[in-house]
Each structure stands twice: as C-alpha cells, then as structure tokens.
C-alpha cells in the first residue's frame, strides 16, 4: 500500500503486509498460549517464575474474549468461515465477534458487501447459522 492511500478496513485497505499475514482468532491464540503455559509449568521448578506478566495478561485477555473454548469447535469455526472465501482479516473479525444477524455481520465487516465480491444475504445467514450451531453444541 502506498503512503498516500489511507487505510480503511471497510474496503480491505489494510496494507499488503496485513492482507498476506495469517491472522488468528482469539480462541486460536488462547489454545496456543494455554499449551505454552502448560509446557512452561512442566519444565519450571518454581511455578511462579516461569511466565512473564505480559504472557499472563495476554492469556487472560484471549481466554476472556474467546467465544469458543473447545479445540474441535475452534477448528470447525475456521473451516466454516474458510468456505466463504473470506480474507484472514474478515474471518478473524467474524470469528471473534460472532455476529448473530446479517446486519450485524455487514456492520462489523462491510467488505462482505464490497462491489465485485459481495456475499448475498442468504450466504451470510447460512454462515452465521453454521457458527451458531458450533457454539450451541460446544
């Protein structure tokens, strides 16, 4: 993205580096940090000395804001959202915020309706229904 262009997430103008990056939902980060925390607990003799405050705060944050806790549910959410040709950014916003209606989804991710790649309301509704099923049966 050139220095002259203004970033605008609604139009997916978020910078080339970010568009190419692999994004993770909070629930995915939570699983990774929990695994790392368990590893640190096993190798440390002093349980109070193995993790930094930043690590602990980060883990607390992603646990608090993770909509899905079960590793299978996390995998299913990514699979469901990946079927809809979303960018990583769109996928993570929807996976983190869990909109319940088409209107909420489009308000959170306006690029769903961007000219040339617009998702119709029925496709968005199906995606949201599939996500709510995962949450319900988690």
The number of beta carbons lying within 10 Å of the beta carbon of residue 112 is: 24
Quote the pLDDT of residue 119: 78
pTM, whole model, 2 decimals?
0.83
Domain boundaries, the chain: 26-65, 71-137
Closest residue by Cα to residue 134 from 80, 73, 70? 73
Quote the pLDDT of residue 21: 80
Residue labelled with tokens 């930094």: 52
- Beta carbons within 8 Å of 58's beta carbon, 6+ residues apart: 29, 33
- Beta carbons within 8 Å of 102's beta carbon, 6+ residues apart: 121, 124, 125, 128
Position 17 pLDDT exceeds 60: yes
Residues 65-101 as b/e (b if ≥16 CB within 10 A, e otherwise) read ebbbeeeebbebbbebbeebebbbbbbbbbbbbbbee
pLDDT tens sequence across 31-60: 999 999 988 888 777 656 668 899 999 999
Quote the pLDDT of residue 49: 64
Second-level CATH architecture of 71-137? Up-down Bundle (1.20)
The number of beta carbons lying within 10 Å of the beta carbon of residue 25 is: 25
Long-range contacts at 99-103 (CB < 8 A, ≥ 24 apart): 99/128, 100/128, 100/132, 101/128, 102/128
pLDDT tens sequence across 79-126: 999 999 898 999 999 999 999 999 999 999 998 887 666 678 999 999
């Amino acid at each position: 993205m050139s220095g002259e262009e203004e970033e605008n997430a609604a139009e997916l103008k978020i910078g080339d580096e970010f568009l190419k990056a692999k994004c993770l939902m909070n629930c995915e980060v939570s699983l990774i940090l929990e695994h790392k925390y368990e590893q640190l607990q096993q190798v440390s003799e002093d349980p109070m000395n193995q993790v930094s405050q930043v690590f602990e705060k980060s883990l607390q944050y992603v646990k608090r804001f993770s909509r899905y806790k079960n590793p299978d549910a996390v995998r299913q959410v990514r699979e469901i959202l990946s079927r809809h040709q979303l960018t990583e950014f769109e996928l993570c916003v929807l996976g983190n915020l869990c909109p319940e209606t088409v209107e909420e989804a489009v308000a959170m991710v306006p690029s769903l309706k961007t000219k040339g790649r617009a998702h119709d309301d029925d496709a968005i509704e199906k995606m949201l229904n599939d996500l709510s099923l995962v949450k319900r049966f988690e």
